[in-house]
């Protein structure tokens, strides 16, 4: 049976990856590193070369899922999982206000780079990712597949700070 695509494939692969790491602080840290590399192409070993590091983060990660099943309000390109995963990574490692500032700096840089086209969907997806990263830091990585199903899937019940179809931007990221 082929691996599903879209949000279902993303959830399945995240669940499989999560099962490879123990539910310990160290296991969660290792999971977040692996998740960031596989889903968003964040390779910390390349951080010594900032241009390569930034090009990788902007490019296509090893796995791509497409848009099937993702909330429309969180999709602006062919791989919404990449942007979300990058900000799960950021939300896990950085304090809330620094993570939110990085999200806005990244989006502003994209706004300038891509010809002054603003992506509110990327901002929404980034905030959901930041929040999920903070939840992983607090509760461990095994909750991530359920969070994705609830907050990113079109059929999910949605996040309390995000409308059912993902149209409202998240205003505050908890510390």
Answer whether residue 121 is part of any domain. yes
In the beta sheet, which residues pair with residue 153?
A: 70
Structural domain count, the chain: 1
User: What DSSP letter does each residue of 110-155 carry, written as one string?
Assistant: HHHHTTS---HHHHHHHHHHHHHHHHHHHH-GGGHHHHHHHHTBTT
Answer whether residue 169 is part of any domain. no
In the structure encoding, which two tokens stand for residue 164, read together? 């059912």
pLDDT digits (tens, 9 = 90+) for 120-168: 999 999 999 999 999 999 999 999 999 999 999 998 776 544 444 444 4
- φ/ψ of residue 26, rounded to 5: -65, -40
In the structure encoding, which two tokens stand for residue 103, read together? 């999200």
Answer whether residue 116 is part of any domain. yes
Name the DSSP class of 162. Answer: S
Q: Quick one: pLDDT band at residue 1, thresholds 50, 70, 90?
A: low
Q: How confident is the model at residue 38, as a pLDDT? A: 93
H or E element that contains 67: none
Q: What is the pTM of this model?
A: 0.84
Q: Quickly tell me which residue has 């903070």 as its tokens.
A: 134
Could you give the CA distance from residue 127 to residue 87 in angstroms, rounded to a whole number?
7
Q: Which domain holds residue 49?
A: 6-151
Name the DSSP class of 73. Answer: G
Q: How confident is the model at residue 163, as a pLDDT? A: 45
Answer whether residue 22 is part of any domain. yes
pLDDT digits (tens, 9 = 90+) for 20-69: 999 999 999 999 999 999 999 988 888 788 788 777 777 778 888 999 99
In the structure encoding, which two tokens stand for residue 47, read together? 């951080």
């Amino acid at each position: 049976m082929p691996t599903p695509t879209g949000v279902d494939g993303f959830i399945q692969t995240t669940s499989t990856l999560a099962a490879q790491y123990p539910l310990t602080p160290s296991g969660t840290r290792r999971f977040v590193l692996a998740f960031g590399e596989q889903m968003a192409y964040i390779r910390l070993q390349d951080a010594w070369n900032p241009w390569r590091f930034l090009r990788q983060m902007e490019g296509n990660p090893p796995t791509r899922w497409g848009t099937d099943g993702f909330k429309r309000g969180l999709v602006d390109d062919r791989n919404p999982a990449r942007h979300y995963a990058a900000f799960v990574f950021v939300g896990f490692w950085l304090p809330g206000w620094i993570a939110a500032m990085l999200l806005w700096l990244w989006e502003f840089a994209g706004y300038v780079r891509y010809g002054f086209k603003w992506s509110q969907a990327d901002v929404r997806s980034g905030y959901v990712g930041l929040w999920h990263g903070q939840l992983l830091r607090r509760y461990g990585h095994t909750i991530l597949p359920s969070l994705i199903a609830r907050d990113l899937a079109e059929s999910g019940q949605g996040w309390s700070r995000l409308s059912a179809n993902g149209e409202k931007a998240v205003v505050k990221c908890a510390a």
